[in-house]
Amino acid sequence: MASPGCSQRFHLSVLSLFFTCFLAFLSSFPFTTEAALKRYQFDIVVKNVSRLCHAKPIVTVNGRYPGPTIYAREGDHVVINVTNHAQYNMSIHWHGLKQFRNGWADGPAYITQCPIQSGNSYTYDFNITGQRGTLWWHAHILWLRATVYGALVILPSKGASFPFPQPAQEAELILGEWWNSDVEEIVKQGNKLGLPPRMSDAHTINGKPGPLFPCSEKYTYAIEVQWGKTYLLRIINAALNDELFFAIAGHDMTVVEIDATYIKPFTTGSLLIAPGQTTNVLVRADRSPGRYFMATQPFNDAPIPVDNKTATAILQYKGIPTTITPLLPFLPAPNDSAFADAYNAKLRSLNSGNVPLEVDRHLFYTIGLGSNPCQSCLNGTRLAASLNNISFIMPKVGLLQAHYFNLSGVFRLDFPDRPPTAFNYTGAPLTANLGTLLGTRLSRLAFNSTVELVLQDTNLLTVESHPFHLHGYNFFVVGRGIGNFDPANDPAKFNLVDPPERNTVGVPTGGWTAIRFRADNPGVWFMHCHLELHTMWGLKMAFVVENGNGPEESILPPPKDLPPC
């Protein structure tokens, strides 16, 4: 397995570089160090896995569920060859990596590449520049990320350190979902009926639901800790459709990082994490030695059904017998909106000098659920989701290829900056005229322009929270609120001093979120709801960011092994 090492991107003499690498070799860091080129082989294979008294074949990377963790350092060059041995087409997204000028390595199928067909390979080749912290990777086609996912840990560059005391040890905790039946078959059945697919049968922590579920005593993840030491937990929400609370019985957590950006530390008993987001916390093992449950369950303040069961893992003090029953933590009520709002208000960037203060382009996108005619569906209709009343239709070739090679007829550049009709977005539920427009429509952004995007939830069918992920960028979350966004008064309340910097942000139920970013990464970049259900229904779009001046501000040429369609 590859592991962190010294950076080949340092501008040093040959002798100095050799000396730095030699020191790295002697380092006692938890991982063995090597040269800054990190190589991994990902074999996509089907493996039989048993959970909740049910065995089934699942798609995996290297036969592991979750898949292997990628370790690298800031500045490293990473090469990951993916060979697809499964019956499904495959693509892998390196969630949160900016992939500067290199959308070819981003991974969403039919956006930046055609998928890797069965029996074929593709090499994701990228540099990690200006980023460190916890990110993750996952399949970005169909619902295959239900089992194809893993952590991506970027350590600080050699000589750099965390802006908090060095922990004694680290662990990744990936929160996920499990279905007893084949996920793709469940989705197909739901689409035939025009209804949502059946919800998951369990949540998981590192692929294991914990002993509160049947047949799951041995399917429980555990961390052993030593009294008096501090541990760094890298928490990832890989669930397909649920925002999640997380807590550790008897222990507070100090939140120090979100989406691979440092924040001003604060202490909390529980945290909230949306699909696609990551959160790093410090935990001090200073309580009475024993066994303590780490637990996760959904946050849902909308009138929709979710899998509300509690998944658990165990924090185990060294020397304590495993026969002792762990204590359960206190978790907020499933619909505790007040906790969610208060928690999000505490997220403040540690360093945020790059917040755009002037805005070149103001965008306002409404988020809606809808219903379109479907002759083959149970009720004659199929549920849809839209931005500015447009349900996105996936193309049959990669959008980045179409843009780079100037292929006509693949997409249009007329995605609207605002909804076609203004209305009381979060007023009484609207259940008439729910049809959406269909199209592969993109929005063009000038290179280096500053963008403000307000994402507004609506009460079309129902209000609901939505975690939105923007590929290729981090953005600053400058404002959020409940109800309708007020362009006359709300911008005056924006936090332009220390807003959190993220790649995935939650739009509150019946509310809005405002983000700002500078469009300095040329390419075609996907933006979508990270609830797989809504993405499937069309809650997605893409930005075409134009090239700047010269080759250093332009899209790199495509690799020779880019998969064909």
Average pLDDT over residues 362-376: 95
Please give the model's pTM, rounded to 2 decimal places: 0.93
136, 161, 186: which is the final residue of a domain? 161
Q: What is the pLDDT of residue 302?
A: 87
In a domain, 366, yes or no: yes
Average pLDDT over residues 71-76: 96
In a domain, 518, yes or no: yes
Average pLDDT over residues 275-301: 97
In a domain, 563, yes or no: no
What gap in Å lies between CA 439 and CA 524, rounded to an integer?
16
Same domain, 387 and 531: yes
109, 135, 161: which is the final residue of a domain? 161
17 pLDDT above the threshold of 70: no
Same domain, 140 and 174: no
Q: Which domain CATH number covers 225? A: 2.60.40.420
In a domain, 354, yes or no: no
Q: DSSP string of 315-380?
A: EEETT--TTSPPBPPP---TT-HHHHHHHHHT--BSS-TT--SS-SEEEEEEEEEEEEE-TTSTTS
Same domain, 523 and 427: yes
Which residues does 213 contact at the CB level (< 8 Å), separation at least 6?
Answer: 52, 202, 219, 309, 311
130 touches 256 (CB < 8 A):
no
In a domain, 19, yes or no: no
Q: What confidence category does residue 16 fall into, taking pLDDT thresholds of 50, 70 and 90?
A: very low
What gap in Å lies between CA 217 and CA 388, rounded to an integer?
47
In a domain, 6, yes or no: no
In a domain, 93, yes or no: yes
Same domain, 101 and 221: no
Same domain, 458 and 483: yes
Residue 347 carries which side chain, given as an amino acid letter?
Answer: L
Tally of domains within the chain? 3
* Separation in Å, CA 520 to CA 76, 225, 385, 544, 548: 21, 43, 29, 11, 8
Same domain, 204 and 289: yes
Q: What confidence category does residue 9 fall into, taking pLDDT thresholds of 50, 70 and 90?
A: very low
Q: What is the pLDDT of residue 6?
A: 36
349, 370, 388: which is the final residue of a domain? 349
Residue at token pair 């893409």: 542
Question: How many H-runs (helices) and E-runs (strands) does the chain carry?
Answer: 5, 32
Same domain, 133 and 275: no
Bridge partner residues of 470 (DSSP): 527
- The proportion of the chain whose per-residue pLDDT surpasses 90, expressed as a percent, equals 88
State both tokens at 163: 């802006």
State both tokens at 169: 């040890």
Average pLDDT over residues 188-203: 92
31 pLDDT above the threshold of 50: no
Same domain, 271 and 240: yes
> Coil, strand or helix: which one is 296?
strand
Q: What is the pLDDT of residue 416?
A: 98
Q: What confidence category does residue 435 fall into, taking pLDDT thresholds of 50, 70 and 90?
A: very high
Q: What is the pLDDT of residue 11?
A: 34
Average pLDDT over residues 142-155: 98
7 pLDDT above the threshold of 80: no
460 pLDDT above the threshold of 90: yes
Q: Which domain holds residue 328?
A: 164-349
Q: What confidence category does residue 4 fall into, taking pLDDT thresholds of 50, 70 and 90?
A: very low
78-123 confidence digits (pLDDT tens):
999 999 999 999 999 999 999 999 999 999 999 999 999 999 999 9
Burial label for 120, CB within 10 Å (0-12, 13-18, 19+), is middle
Mean residue pLDDT of the chain comes to 93
Same domain, 132 and 156: yes
Q: In what order do the strands lie in the sheet with 511-519?
A: 437-439, 390-392, 381-387, 361-373, 449-457, 511-519, 475-482, 501-502
Q: What is the pLDDT of residue 32?
A: 39
Same domain, 378 and 510: yes
Residue at token pair 């399949």: 139
Q: What is the pLDDT of residue 397?
A: 96
Same domain, 401 and 547: yes
In a domain, 260, yes or no: yes
Total Cβ atoms within 10 A of residue 50: 11
State both tokens at 272: 């909230």
Q: Which of 394, 413, 361, 160 is nearest to 262 (CA)?
A: 160
181 pLDDT above the threshold of 70: yes
Average pLDDT over residues 53-66: 97
If you ran DSSP here, which 8-state letter would residue 422 be given?
-
Q: DSSP string of 132-166?
A: -EEEEEEE-STTGGGT-EEEEEEEPPTT---SSPP
What gap in Å lies between CA 221 and CA 548, rounded to an integer?
48
If you ran DSSP here, which 8-state letter would residue 486 be given?
-
Same domain, 152 and 297: no
Q: What is the pLDDT of residue 352?
A: 74
